[in-house]
Amino acid sequence: MFAGRSYHLPSFTVLQLLPFSCQMEKQIGTMRVLVTGGSGLVGKAIQHVVKEEGGAREGEEWIFLSSKDADLTNAAETRAIFEKHRPTHVVHVAAMVGGLFRHLRQNLDFWRNNVCINDNVLQTAHEFGVVKVVSCLSTCIFPDKTTYPIDETMIHNGPPHESNSGYAYAKRMVDVHNRACWTQYGRRYTAVIPTNIFGPHDNFNIEDAHVLPALVHKTYKAKRDGTALEVWGSGHALRQFIYSLDLARLYLWVLREYDEVEPIILSVGQEEEITIKDVVDAIVEAFGFTGPVIYDTSKSDGQMKKTASNAKLRSYRPDFTFTPFQTGKHQTHAYDTSTLLGIHYPVHQ
């Protein structure tokens, strides 16, 4: 129904023709990068790549924030943290984040908190002359009724899935903000669009978490207690998963090299899409869980699929190698289990 329709926003090809003198601005001097959300799943992965994989270049300064440093829903606290660090670049990953079942309970909170955080960060970055901001969207912001695969031009082509509409609209407004900031001020603020992410330092809260950490935790408990593993929904929904460290590596590339205002999808290929049942089977196998697995079909499946194209990414980075789901999953499994058991395992990349 919404296939191929573009609403009100000009495409980037039109934006590219605008005669802004800063169009080819180059970064001058040393980067001081402020990473919002530095304590979360993605923030920790970026920290790992920067500090452990040589992601930072000589002379660069990287500052990783958590909500303890500043509540970014608060404009004064946001301003104070920019005043303190005077960043030249911002990697903006802070957000109110959660799995499907948290969205179903707290749609309004997702809308309000994320609108506030994003507006505060983007406006303050502009006021402090930040050269580049790379924000983080999600493939769940795309229209629910659409053609597949989804690509970067389709963000505003119809309503998102109702289950996470507050979060989705708040994230879409980042794209609106970035485009307006470009046309009005020539600011090169952009965003990445990852699919479902997994990796070390995820949130394992059973009620609030995304599917993979929630199921890891549930499987651990079911095995420990000799109970059934309860999966929510039919297991038929399809998802693409990107390993957090792959995302972090690509995030750094976007910060340094990607010059478009239009966002870019960071995803494994369409052929890597798997069902929730595949995820369950992989976790059950990794744990050696032999008890019953129950699918509670009275619970929501959320969006049945959001198959994303990574053609644009591939046009820039044809050789980028993604960590296969199994490999990433096993690394995460080792870490997750250790977290739950309070045992220390080394975290592999």
Which residues are annotated as catalytic?
167
In which element (H, E) is residue 46 found? helix 41-52
Instruction: Identify which of 70, 116, 66, 56 has the alpha carbon closest to the alpha carbon of residue 93.
Output: 66
In the 8-state DSSP scheme, what is residue 59?
A: T
Distance CA(263)–CA(141), nearest Å, equals 12
3-state secondary structure of 193: strand
In 3D space, the residue among 261, 306, 216 whose CA is nearest the CA of residue 12 turns out to be: 261
The contact pattern for ligand NAP, residues 139-178, with x = CB under 6 A and - = no contact, is ----------------------------------------
DSSP track, 153-168 = GGTTSSPBPGGGHHHH
Whichever of 41 and 237 has its CB closer to ligand GDP, that residue is 237
Site for ligand GDP contains 211 (CB under 6 A): yes
233 binds ligand GDP (CB under 6 A): yes
CA distance 135 to 132: 10
The residues in 198-217 that bind ligand NAP, with binding defined as CB under 6 A, are 203, 210
Binding partner selected for residue 233 from ligand GDP, ligand NAP, none, CB under the kind-specific 5 to 8 Å limit = ligand GDP
Determine, following the binding rule CB under 6 A, whether residue 192 of this chain makes contact with ligand NAP.
no
Minimum CB–partner distance for residue 130 and ligand GDP (Å): 29
Only segment of 90-98, 145-153, 224-232, 311-319 that touches ligand NAP (CB under 6 A): 90-98
**Coil, strand or helix at 130:** coil
Tell me if 106 contacts ligand NAP by CB under 6 A: no
Rule CB under 6 A: choose which of 97, 122, 154, 214 binds ligand GDP.
Answer: 214
- Which of these segments, 15-23, 36-44, 271-279, 283-291, binds ligand NAP (CB under 6 A)? 36-44
Q: Which helix (H) or strand (E) holds 64?
A: strand 61-64
Residues 63-122 that bind ligand GDP (CB under 6 A): 99-101
Minimal CB distance to ligand NAP: which residue? Answer: 40
Q: Please report, as residue ranges, which positions from 242 to 281 form the binding site for ligand GDP (by CB under 6 A).
A: 276
Q: Tell me the sheet residues that pair with 308.
A: 150
**Amino acid in the structure at residue 41:** L
| H/E stretch holding 181 | helix 165-185
Cα-Cα end-to-end distance for the chain: 42
Considering only the stretches 41-49, 82-90, 222-230, 301-309, report the one whose residues sit in contact with ligand NAP under the rule CB under 6 A: 41-49
Which lies closer to ligand NAP via its Cβ, residue 100 or residue 181?
A: 100
Name which of residues 15 to 74 contact ligand GDP (CB under 6 A): none
Applying CB under 6 A, among 210, 249, 317, 329 the residue interacting with ligand GDP is 210
Which SS3 state, helix, strand or coil, does residue 3 take? Answer: coil
Q: Cα(131)–Cα(129) distance, rounded to whole angstroms?
A: 6
Query: 103 and 303 in contact (C-beta within 8 Å)?
Result: no
What H or E segment, with its residue span, contains residue 339?
helix 325-341
Decide whether 22 or 189 has the Cβ nearer to ligand NAP: 189
Of the candidates 161, 93, 149, 98, the one whose C-alpha atom is nearest the C-alpha of residue 267 is 149
The one among 107, 165, 196, 267 contacting ligand GDP by CB under 6 A: 196
Pick 8 or 68: Cβ nearer ligand NAP: 68
Positions of E strands within 41-109: 61-64, 89-92
- Interacting span for ligand NAP (CB under 6 A) from 92-100, 154-162, 219-227, 316-324: 92-100
Choose the one of ligand NAP, ligand GDP, none that binds residue 215, judging by a C-beta under 5 to 8 angstroms depending on kind. Answer: ligand GDP
45 and 73 Cβ atoms separated by less than 8 Å:
no
Cα separation, 107 vs 257, whole angstroms: 35
Sites of contact with ligand NAP (CB under 6 A): 37-43, 66-68, 71-73, 93-97, 117, 136, 138, 194, 196-197, 203, 210
Site for ligand GDP, rule CB under 6 A: 99-101, 140, 196, 209-211, 214-215, 218, 231-233, 237, 239, 276, 300-303
